[in-house]
Amino acid sequence: MSSTPRNGTVDGSVSLTVNGVATPLGEAPAYTTLLDWLRGQGLTGAKEGCAEGECGACSVMVVRPDGDDRSRWTAINACLVPAAAYAGQEVVTSEGLGTVDDLHPVQREMAVRGGSQCGYCTPGFVCSMAAEFYRPDRTRAAASPDGAADDGDHEHGPNGFDLHALSGNLCRCTGYRPIRDAAYALGDAAGDDPLAERTSRPAPAAEPLRHTAADRSFVRPADLDEALRLLADNPDAVALAGSTDWGVEVNIRSARADLVVVIDRLPELRELHVRDDVVEIGAALTLSEVERGLDGRVPLLDSLFPQFASRLIRNGATIGGNLGTGSPIGDTPPALLALEADLVLTSPDGDRVVPVSDYFTGYRESVRRPGELIRSVRVPLPLSQITAFHKIAKRRFDDISSVAVGFAIQTDGGVVSKARIGLGGVAATPIRATATEAALEGRPWSAETVAAAAAVMRGEGTPMDDHRASAAYRSAMLGTALRRLHSDNPTTEGRTA
């Protein structure tokens, strides 16, 4: 292998900055999670509650880029990511926010309002809450013309606090009311708050790295070319972006890789362009970054984001990763199918473009060849007027879809000129509801058309019974989704802008 890390990073000499203190990564094997590594350093505030990014007891804050010049505190699940991925990075845990005698504002509000009972989830809540406390546009949201606090939006506080910031944190004791109250009582960061001050400077660069311990290697390549070369030379290597899926494999199914190639910070995979005819989204952008970068320009995706896992996961998970895993219940594919998106796949042989509708070939299988990476996702413009993302799940925050439906309905003079419907959870792969699309196109956007097409849609896919839902319910949900869309959008004006 030909990787020669720059900047002299060699085994054993790299460190993470934890609560302001440079701490050597040491001999941690490549599969060692950031959580286990932190706990091994004696920082036992972050806890393992589930080891799959569902409970947030492991939440810590890291510094992430916010444009070229600034950074932002970002809460992530420390249980899912390799410690080596944070070499050279800055991490803050609950222990680093404040002390018993000098509590951080977030810690103070949580403590005095009864936000902790058993206390086990609390350090994680504190970190998720602190990241939202420092969110640069938090106050602005409160001042939005929507008047969030008045119109029954129970998910934003008067201080702009977005409750979804805590959607990846579970508490079994409190019932959440005091935690919400603590979040909504937060003021602004003090002028001399060092963590607030930190965001005015760029995030640490992601320096190339080769870390080998216990015969397993973790490599952060210098650029895309090196990444592709490594993957080509090592067919069994794991290409890792946000690690929100791989981390579960490591923790729950004890997956171990001889070589992990981390691609989450490769600049070639992190570009976002909005052109006249296409929106191009870099595959290694996290869902949170895509959400911020698009800033509402693709309403269908905007309706998807808050329903996609939790904020903690969206801060790590990349849009490319969600397609790369090829899961039939990933949430982006149904939306991207409706948007008629294309994927740009890249390999040492060059780039090729594959429509999302041709990408999936079987259960967790796709046309992506070994060693090939997703470079970007292209969403063609203009967008259809009526779009929606329906997610059917047991829980509203942070659940996996039983059924997911992406809708994009184009109308012309009250007549459906184009219908694109993507479905998840009803077949071995995400699919297009082509029969339903045909039943809509060329017909008026009316209750009658919808009723007839809904009957067709009920028969789409090959739903199964499992612990999330019965096949009968999945089919029923396909049958009601179009009627629900029509009920929400009775005219062809659409609600999108």
Partner 1 sequence: MSQLSERPANPVVGQEIPHESAALHVTGTALYTDDLVGRTHGVLHAYPVRGEHAHATVTRLGVAPALDVPGVVRVLTADDVPGVNDAGVKHDEPLFPTEVMYVGHPVAWVLGETLEQARLGAEAVEVDYAPLPSLIGVTEAIAAGSFQGAQPTVRRGDVDSGFDRAAHVFTGEVEFAGQEHFYLETHASLAQVDEGGQVFVQSSTQHPSETQEIVSHVLGVPAHEVTVQCLRMGGGFGGKEMQPHGYAAIAALGATLTGRPVRLRLNRTQDITMSGKRHGFHAEWRVGFSQDGRLEALDATLTSDGGWSLDLSEPVLARALCHIDNAYWIPDVRVNGRIAKTHKTSQTAFRGFGGPQGMFVIEDILGRCAPLLGIDPLELRSRNFYTEGQHTPYGMLVRHPDRLDATWSQVLAGGDVERRRAEIAEFNATHEHTKRALAMTPVKFGISFNLTAFNQAGALVLVYKDGSVLVNHGGTEMGQGLHTKMLQVAATTLGLPLSKVRLAPTRTDKVPNTSATAASSGADLNGGAVKNACEQIRERLAVVAAGRLGVPAADVRFHDGTVSGLGAGDMGWDELVRIAYFQRVQLSASGYYRTEGLHWDSSTMQGTPFKYFAYGVAATEVEVDGFTGAYRTRRVDIVHDVGDSLSPLIDIGQIEGGFVQGAGWLTLEDLRWDTSDGPRRGRLSTQAASTYKLPSLSEMPEVFNVSLLDKAHEEGAVYGSKAVGEPPLMLAFSVREALREAAAAFGPAGVSVDLASPATPEAVYWAVEQARAAHEHGHVVEGAPGRVPDQPGSEATPMLPNSERIQYGVRSGV
Q: Which of residues 151-170 bind partner 1 (CB under 8 A)?
A: 154, 163, 166-167, 169-170
Which residue from 7, 13, 99, 491 is in contact with partner 1, where contact means CB under 8 A? 99
Minimum separation from the CB atom of position 148 to partner 1 (A): 13
Interaction pattern, residues 282-311, with partner 1; x per rule: CB under 8 A: ------------------------------
Q: Which of 157, 178, 204, 430 binds partner 1 (CB under 8 A)?
A: 178
Q: What is the DSSP string of 45-80?
A: SS--SSSSSSS-TTEEEEEEEETTTEEEEEEEETTT
Near partner 1 by CB under 8 A: residue from 33, 77, 94, 387? 94
Task: Name the one range near partner 1 by CB under 8 A: 103-111, 133-141, 318-326, 340-348.
Answer: 103-111
- Residue 251 has phi, psi (to 5 degrees) of -80, -45
Please list every residue from 402 through 441 that binds partner 1, using CB under 8 A: 402
**At its nearest, how many Å lie between partner 1 and the CB of residue 356?**
25
Alpha-carbon gap, residue 346 to 374, rounded angstroms: 6
207 exposure class (CB count in 10 Å sphere: 0-12, 13-18, 19+): middle
Q: Is 455 in the site for partner 1 (CB under 8 A)?
A: no
Considering only the stretches 98-106, 274-282, 411-419, 456-464, report the one whose residues sit in contact with partner 1 under the rule CB under 8 A.
Answer: 98-106
Q: Is residue 437 within 8 Å of 421, Cβ to Cβ?
A: yes
Q: Which of 33, 74, 77, 174 binds partner 1 (CB under 8 A)?
A: 174
Which residue in the set 77, 107, 387, 492 belongs to the binding site for partner 1 (CB under 8 A)?
107
* Contact with partner 1 (CB under 8 A) among 4, 6, 8, 42: 42
Q: From the CB of 388, what's the least distance to partner 1, in Å?
A: 12
Query: Percentages helix, strand, coil for the chain, rounded to the nearest 5?
Result: 30, 25, 45
40 binds partner 1 (CB under 8 A): yes
Q: Is position 198 an interface residue for partner 1 (rule: CB under 8 A)? A: no
**Other CB atoms within 10 Å distance of the CB of residue 99:** 10
Residue 495 per-residue DSSP state: S
Helices 177-184 + 105-112 axis angle, to 10: 140
411 membership: H or E segment, kind and range: strand 403-412
Write the interaction track for partner 1 spanning residues 215-254; mark x where CB under 8 A is met and - where it is not.
---------------------------------x--xx-x
DSSP letters spanning 170-186: --SSS-SHHHHHHHHT-
What is the footprint of partner 1 within residues 367-396 (CB under 8 A)? 390, 392-396
The verdict on 467 binding partner 1 (CB under 8 A) reads: yes
Which range binds partner 1 by CB under 8 A, 63-71, 171-179, 288-296, 439-447? 171-179
Strands 278-282, 272-274: pairing is: antiparallel
User: What is the rounded distance in angstroms from the CA atom of residue 254 to the CA atom of residue 138?
Assistant: 39
Please state the closest distance from residue 43 (CB atom) to partner 1, in A: 7
- Closest to partner 1 by CB, 50 or 274: 50
466 in contact with partner 1 (CB under 8 A): yes
Q: Is there binding between residue 452 and partner 1 (CB under 8 A)?
A: no
Q: Segment near partner 1 (CB under 8 A), from 3-11, 119-127, 224-232, 436-444?
A: 119-127
Pick from 1, 21, 112, 353 the residue near partner 1 by CB under 8 A. Answer: 112
For residue 122, the minimal CB distance to partner 1 (Å) is 4
Pairing of strands 238-240, 259-262: parallel
Nearer residue to partner 1 within complex by CB, 116 or 411: 116
Task: Name the phi and psi angles at 254, rounded to 5.
Answer: 55, 35
- The least distance separating partner 1 from the CB of residue 396, rounded to whole angstroms, comes to 4
Residue 184 in the binding site for partner 1 (CB under 8 A): no
In our burial notation (b when 16+ CB lie closer than 10 A, e otherwise), range 232-262 reads eebeebbbbbbbbbbbbbbbeeeeebebbbb
Question: Which residues inside 47-76 make contact with partner 1, applying CB under 8 A?
Answer: 47-52, 54-55, 57
Other Cβ atoms within 10 Å of 328 Cβ, number: 22
Residue 269 token pair: 């995979």
List the one residue from 37, 86, 360, 397 that touches partner 1 (CB under 8 A). Answer: 397
Among 9, 120, 232, 280, binds partner 1 (CB under 8 A): 120
Cβ burial of 483 (10 Å; 0-12, 13-18, 19+) is middle
Q: How many CB atoms are closer than 10 A to CB 290?
A: 21
Residue 361 CB, nearest distance to partner 1 (Å)?
A: 25
- The span of 192-200, 414-422, 433-441, 471-479 binding partner 1 (CB under 8 A) equals 471-479
Element (H, E) at 409: strand 403-412
d(CA 435, CA 454): 10
Q: Which residue in 161, 155, 105 sits closest to 138, CA to CA?
A: 161
Tell me whether residue 364 or residue 394 sits nearer to partner 1 (CB atom). 394
274 binds partner 1 (CB under 8 A): no
